[in-house]
Amino acid sequence: MMKTPLMIQRKQEQPQCFATQNVIQRSIGFELEIGPYSQLFDSENRMYEKNRRFNAGNPMTQDELDPDNVFKKGKVMVECPMFDVTVDVSYKDKIPYVEIITRAFPETELGWEMLNTAMQEIEGIGDMIAFNCYHHAFLGHFWRFGKVEPEYKRAIFLCPDKPTGFFHVTAGVDMKKIPELFSDLAYPDDDEFEKLGKRREQGREFLMPPKKDEEDPLESHAKQLMLADVNRAVDELKNTFAIVENPALEGLLLMIGFYLYQSIEEVQEYPKSFTALLSRTDFSRQFSILPRRIQALLSDNDFSLWLDITGGLNDLLGCGALSQPFFARGTDCYFEDDERSRRMCELSREEWLENIPKGKDLLTSRNYPNRKHANGLGALGAMGGMTDSVGSMTREHGSIIEFRNTKQPLTHKEWKPFAQKAFKYIYALNKGLGKKYGEDFKINRDTDVGESY
């Protein structure tokens, strides 16, 4: 991989500081799915000519699109200094398309420069597709961005229309800041609109916007209203359990409550799609991040206090019996065998909750009770014990969260501004910036951030 002057500068600037193999140093990364109905072809595949002629994006089988099985999910087609152009495969139609995955950009002035450089190049990819009359591009022409793998030099990336982007943002969030995150993104009461600071407006606009295709305001703000309900439920718990006042424990309970609350609805796609805030760090690791005094209190008497608190949270949210499956109404997933397995009923809410403080998150592909269907959980807790180093002097372990309900779709000219706004919001959240945060605030050069892994 070729090294740019910016990468060399970055390496020279990084000081030696707190870093382990299992810690990322305060970073933000992006995944960009390019659409709509985009498809990958080998240039010698005649189905490409047929589809280009009609330019309709009609569904075709994976065998027709990729008879030689070249486009495998996760394969890197173009390796660039600050991002990779990879293969993803659609859930229902199994059609290969392009997903761009960036490097993790540290929350520093240098990381800000890296982000801007990367997004400028990614916008250039959008330009290549948008200004072609058939909205396609040869991956062999991507040499200007990075190294093209030999088997993909003949590949063609086709969009039936001008390219739009669907972003997922992954970032470490200080667990003590998760209550602020929920407050920022939740649907506010009427009298709260006047109090909204710039940071909150940006967070809600870009990381948790309402659905524009819903006529009913309540439906369009469904996820934001859920966040507000979980906020109220955890506040109610504080009246019964004083220990919940601890900000880190409150943050953990908010994430658990949001998971419980969202999973009572039928999951329309693959299992991980049920949540708008997906925890890449598993919940057992998040429990271990809590202050030792808090862990000891929650673990006493065979975790009775933990079970009382989480059970009470489940009841306050009206999520039904703890004995019912975690996915209460099942999932519309891709298993072909019996109905019970297809609906993923193997894990109960009670089993999930009681195993978290014991060091095992069962809602992950590593630990799910039915190994045959574990892969359906995808990125849920997929980073295991990996955390993000945040807070003062980066000595705090933050939970790595993927924001899956971001503003979309975005035209290729909107990709860079979106990434900039998301970066600024996460930076301001972890830094504790509230009223000070505005359009003109700048990313300060930090000297307490170590190498990103």
Tens of pLDDT, residues 136-162: 778 888 888 999 999 888 888 877 677
pLDDT at position 101 is 95
**Residue 169: burial class (beta carbons within 10 Å; 0-12, 13-18, 19+):** buried
- The residue among 100, 48, 108 whose CA lies nearest residue 423 is 108
Q: How confident is the model at residue 188 (pLDDT cuts 50, 70, 90)?
A: low
**In the chain, % of residues over pLDDT 70:** 72
Phi, psi (5° rounding) for residue 369? -55, -35
CA angle 171, 177, 180 (to 5 degrees): 110
Which residues on neighbouring strands pair with residue 105, listed in sequence order? Answer: 28
Q: Which residues contact 27 (CB under 8 A, 6 or more apart)?
A: 104, 105, 106, 107, 111, 171, 172, 388, 452
Does 243 or 69 have the greater pLDDT score? 243
**What are the DSSP calls for 257-302, one per residue?**
HHHHHHTTSPB-SSGGGG-SEEESS-HHHHHHHS-HHHHHHHHHHH
pLDDT at position 84 is 96
Q: How confident is the model at residue 342 (pLDDT cuts 50, 70, 90)?
A: low
- The residue among 304, 289, 201, 202 whose CA lies nearest residue 248 is 289
pLDDT over 90 (residue 204) = no
Which of 138-142, 192-196, 350-354, 394-398 shows the lowest mean pLDDT across its residues? 192-196
Q: Can you tell me the distance from the alpha carbon of 146 to that of 82, in angstroms, rounded to the nearest whole number?
A: 9
Read off the pLDDT of residues 217-256 as tens digits, 9 standing for 90 and up. 666 788 888 999 999 999 999 999 999 999 999 999 999 9
Give the amino acid at 358. K
pLDDT over 50 (residue 10) = no
The Cα-based distances of 13 to 111, 184, 272 in angstroms read 11, 33, 38
pLDDT at position 448 is 39
Segment 393-414 shows an average pLDDT of 85
pLDDT at position 215 is 61
pLDDT over 80 (residue 186) = yes
- Computed over its alpha carbons, how large is the radius of gyration of the chain? 23
Which of the residue ranges 209-213, 272-276, 338-342, 362-366 has the most confident prediction, judged by mean pLDDT?
362-366
pLDDT at position 400 is 93
Q: Which run of H or E residues covers position 402?
A: strand 396-403
pLDDT over 80 (residue 47) = no
Q: Which run of H or E residues covers position 228?
A: helix 222-240
Q: Which run of H or E residues covers position 76?
A: strand 76-79
Predicted TM-score (pTM) of the model is 0.84
pLDDT over 60 (residue 11) = no
pLDDT at position 64 is 60
- The residue among 287, 377, 280, 253 whose CA lies nearest residue 327 is 377
Q: How confident is the model at residue 341 (pLDDT cuts 50, 70, 90)?
A: very low
Segment 267-278 shows an average pLDDT of 82
